[in-house]
Amino acid sequence: MARTVASPTIVPPAQSELRALAPEPTGVAILGARAIELARVGHELYSVFVRTLYYCARGRREPGAILQQMYEIGNRSVFFLTVVMGFIGMILVFQAGLQAKRVVPDLTLLGATYLELLIRDLAASIGALMLATRVGAGIAAEIGSMVVTEQVDALRMTAADPIDYLVKPRFIASVLMTTCLIIWSAAVAFGSGMITAYTAFDVQPRTFMNMSLVDAGDLTIGLAKCVAYGAAIPVVSAHSGLSTFGGSEGVGWATTRAVVNSSLAVIMLNMFISAAGFLVFPG
Amino acid sequence: MSSPRSIEVKVGILILTAVGLLAAFILVMGGLNFQPTYPIYVDFDNPGGLQTGAPVKIAGVKVGKIVDVQFRGAEPKTNKREPLVRMKVTVEKRYAQSVHENSIFYVTTQGVLGEQFLAIEPGSSDRPVLAEGGVVRGLDPPRLDMLLSESYELLHTAVSAVRDNRAEFSEAFDGLRQTLKGTGGFFDRNGQKIDRITSNVEQLTADAQGLMKKAGDKYVDNAQIDRILANVDHVTIAAAKDVPPIMADAKETLASAKRIANSLGNEAELAKIKQVVSDASDLVKMAKGATSDAQALLSHVKRGKGTVGALVMDEQLYDDLQEMARDLKHNPWKFFWKE
C-alpha cells in the first residue's frame, strides 16, 4: 500500500508489477495505449448501461430503494438547482438584452427567443451539468467507497449483481428526477429572466411571456435531452464508482472522474441530440 | 433522515410540480386547441418563408394556423397562369364572422426580425362572410431579395458607365457649368431690362385682355352681328337656290358663244365682218359730224341768233307775237282793213 501511495498515479499492485516487467510505452505506443483504454472504457460503459436496462426490465422490485434515491437525487437538489438556474436566467437575459440592444433596439422578442433557447437547450444542458456535479459525485463516492470496503465483492459473493442492487435504483430515480428538476429549473430560469427583463430593460412580463416561437419540436428535443442526461449521469458515475481502486484516495479520484466524465457525456449528448433535432425538426 | 412517509410526500410534490408545469406550458403554448376550425385556401405566387404551423392573425390576435403548403406549379391545367403555392389555413369558427370575401391576406413578420405569419385584414362588413373551403388570392410579400439584386445591377451599370466615360462626363459638366455661368451673367447684366420687359409684357397682356373684352362686347355679344350673320345666312341660302339655274344659263350662253365663235371661224366671214365694222365706223364718224353740226346749229339757236334763234330765244318777239295774237282775236278785221 505504501508503494502505491508513493507512486504519482493510483495503480493496483498487480498492475504496477506488470508495468515493471513490460517496457513503458513511448511515442506512437502512448497514442495506441490511450486509444485502447478509451475503447475499453466505452465498452465498459456500454456494458453497464445495457445491464442496467436489463435489470430495469427483469430485476428485483424494490420501490423503497428507488424512492429513497429519488429523494436523494431529486428533492435534495431542488434548492441547489433553483439558486443556480435563477442566477443563470438573470445573467443570460441581461447579457442577451445588452447585446440585442446594440444590434436592434427592439426587445419585444427577447422573451420568445429566450424561452425557445431555454426549452431547446439551455435548461436541460445547464441543469444537467449542475446535476452531474452533485448527483454524479454522490453516486461515484457512494459506490466507490462500497467497492474499496469490499461490500460490492460481498454482493457478488451472494450471486447478486451490484448493478441490480446499486445502479438500477439510481438510474430509474435519476431519469425521473432529472426530467422533473429540469422542468422546474426551466421555470425558475424563465421567471428570473422575466424579472430581469422587466427591471433592466422595461420589457413587460406579458410581452416577455411569448410562446409563439416554441413548437412541439422544441419541446420534444428538450424532453429527449432531459431523459438522455438523466440516464447518462448515473451510468457514467456508477461506472466510475465500480472501477474504483486504491482505498479512500481512489474514491476521491473516482468522484473526480465521475464529475468530469458525466459533464463530458452531457455535452456530447447535447451535440448529438441537437444535431438529430435539427434534422428532424428543422427551423 | 426524514421518515419514509414524508420522503414519499416530498418526492410526490416534486413530481406533481414538474408535471403540472409541463402540462401548463403545453396548454399555454397552444399546441392543444379544442376550438372548432374551418379551412380556407390562400393562393400565393411567392409566400416568402411562410412555413407550415405559422400562425394566422387578425389585428395581431391569433385566429388559426397554416396546416399545409402545397406547390401547384407542376399542374398543367390551363393556359391561364395559376398561383404557384396554395396554403391550407384553418381558422377558428368563432372568428368566421370577421373574415369577409374582400378580406386581404398578406404575409408579414413579428417585430423586426421575428417569424413570418399570415395576417388577415377583415374587409368590409357589407360583403358576405367567406365560405368554408373558399379559395382567395393572397397578397405576395415584397421581394426584398429581387429588389436588392435588381438595384445592385442598376448601380453596377451606373457606376461602370460613369467610370468608363469619365472624360465625357467631365466635359458635359464643364459645359453645363459654363452655360449656367453665362446665363447667370446675362441675367445679372440685363436685370433691369428684363424687369422692364416683364412689366411691359404684363401691361401688354392686361391691355390685350381689355381689348379682347371690348372686342367681345362689340363683335361677339352684339345683336347686329347676329343680324348680319342671319342675313349672310339668308343670302347664302338664296344663292344656293339661285346659283344652279344661273350656272345653267351661263353654261348655255357660253355654249351659244362657242357656237357663234365656231360659225365665225372662216376667213371670208371674218373679212366681211371687218368690212361691216369699218363701214359702221365710217357711219358713226359721219353721224358724229352731223351731230356736231346740229349741235352748233342748236347752240346758235340757243344764243338767239338767226331767225329761228330769235324766234325761239327772244322773249320780246314772243311777247309781241302774243300781243299781236290777242289783238287779232279782239279785232279780227284788222287783217282786212286799216283803221
Q: ipTM of the assembly? A: 0.76
* B128 and B90 assigned to the same domain: yes
For residue A14, pLDDT over 70 is answered with: no
For residue A2, pLDDT over 50 is answered with: no
For residues A57-74, give the mean pLDDT.
87
For residue A126, pLDDT over 90 is answered with: yes
Alpha-carbon distance B178 to nearest alpha carbon in chain A (angstroms): 48
Distance of CA A121 to the CA centre of its chain: 14
Final residue before a domain boundary, out of B80, B114, B142 = B142
Which of B10, B31, B115 is facing A71, going by the closest CB pair?
A: B10
Q: What pLDDT is recorded for position A151?
A: 92
* B45 and B28 assigned to the same domain: no
Q: What pLDDT is recorded for position A3?
A: 42
Alpha-carbon distance B27 to nearest alpha carbon in chain A (angstroms): 11
* B77 and B95 assigned to the same domain: yes
Task: Provide, rounded to the nearest whole percent, the portion of chain B with pLDDT above 70.
Answer: 90
Residue B246 domain-assigned (yes or no): no
How many domains does chain B contain in total? 3
Q: What pLDDT is recorded for position A46?
A: 94
**What is the grid cell recorded at B316?**
320780246
**What is the grid cell recorded at A66?**
428507488
Alpha-carbon distance B65 to nearest alpha carbon in chain A (angstroms): 12
Amino acid at B235: V
For residues B135-160, give the mean pLDDT.
85
Final residue before a domain boundary, out of B124, B142, B160 = B142
Q: Which of A241, A32, A248 shows the shortest CA–CA distance to A139?
A: A241
Q: Measured between alpha carbons, how far is residue B275 from residues B263, B265, B285, B286 in Å? A: 17, 16, 15, 16
Q: Which of A6-15, B133-142, B174-183 has the lowest mean pLDDT?
A: A6-15
Residue B287 domain-assigned (yes or no): no
B interface mutation test: which of A62, A69, A72, A75 has the most B CBs within 10 A? Answer: A75
Q: What pLDDT is recorded for position A1?
A: 38
CA dihedral B221, B227, B230, B232 (to 10 degrees): -110
Residue B252 domain-assigned (yes or no): no
* B53 and B24 assigned to the same domain: no
> Using CA atoms, how far apart are residues B75 and B91, in angstroms rounded to an integer?
27
Q: What pLDDT is recorded for position A195?
A: 95
Residue B315 domain-assigned (yes or no): no
**What is the grid cell recorded at A214?**
416554441
Residue B328 domain-assigned (yes or no): no
Residue B88 domain-assigned (yes or no): yes
Q: What share of chain B is helix, strand, coil (3-state, %, to 5)?
A: 65, 15, 25
For residue A70, list chain B residues with Cβ-Cβ distance below 8 A. 11
Q: What pLDDT is recorded for position A109?
A: 85
In this structure, are residues A258 and A237 in contact, taking their beta carbons and an 8 Å threshold? yes
The reply to whether residue B7 touches residue A71, judged by beta carbons under 8 angstroms, is: yes
Torsions phi, psi of B88, nearest 5? -90, 125
The reply to whether residue A109 touches residue B11, judged by beta carbons under 8 angstroms, is: no
Residue B196 domain-assigned (yes or no): no
Please tell me the number of Cα atoms within 13 Å of B279 on its side-chain side: 6
* B107 and B134 assigned to the same domain: yes
As to burial, measured by CB atoms within 10 angstroms (0-12 exposed, 13-18 middle, 19+ buried), residue A228 is buried
* B43 and B134 assigned to the same domain: yes
Final residue before a domain boundary, out of B142, B177, B211 = B142
* B48 and B112 assigned to the same domain: yes
Q: Measured between alpha carbons, how far is residue A167 from residues A139, A142, B77, B151 in Å? A: 9, 11, 66, 67
* pLDDT tens readout for residues B8-34: 888 889 899 999 998 888 887 765 566
* B98 and B82 assigned to the same domain: yes
Residue B298 domain-assigned (yes or no): no
Please give the residue that has the higher pLDDT: either A182 or B335. Answer: A182
For residue A6, pLDDT over 50 is answered with: no
Q: Which of A31-35, B15-19, B30-34, B316-320 has the lowest mean pLDDT?
A: B30-34
* B44 and B111 assigned to the same domain: yes
Q: Which of B139-143, B158-162, B209-213, B248-252 has the lowest mean pLDDT?
A: B139-143
Interface of B with A (CB under 8 A): 2, 4, 7-8, 10-11, 14-15, 17-19, 21-22, 25-26, 28-31, 51, 53, 55, 62, 110-115
Please give the residue that has the higher pLDDT: either A7 or A49. Answer: A49
* B131 and B40 assigned to the same domain: yes
**Residue A70: count of CB within 10 angstroms of its CB:** 27
Q: What pLDDT is recorded for position B4?
A: 62
In this structure, are residues A203 and A94 in contact, taking their beta carbons and an 8 Å threshold? no
Q: What is the domain extent for residue B170?
A: 148-189
> Using CA atoms, how far apart are residues B154 and B156, in angstroms rounded to an integer?
5
> Among all residues of chain B, which has the CA nearest to that of A217?
B31
* B20 and B50 assigned to the same domain: no
Contact residues for A84 (Cβ-Cβ < 8 A; gap 6+):
A126, A130, A185
* B8 and B84 assigned to the same domain: no
For residue B111, list chain A residues with Cβ-Cβ distance below 8 A. 106, 108-109
Mean pLDDT value across chain A: 88
* pLDDT tens readout for residues A161-210: 889 889 999 999 999 999 999 999 999 999 999 999 999 998 999 888 88
> Using CA atoms, how far apart are residues B205 and B203, in angstroms rounded to an integer?
5
Q: What pLDDT is recorded for position B269?
A: 77
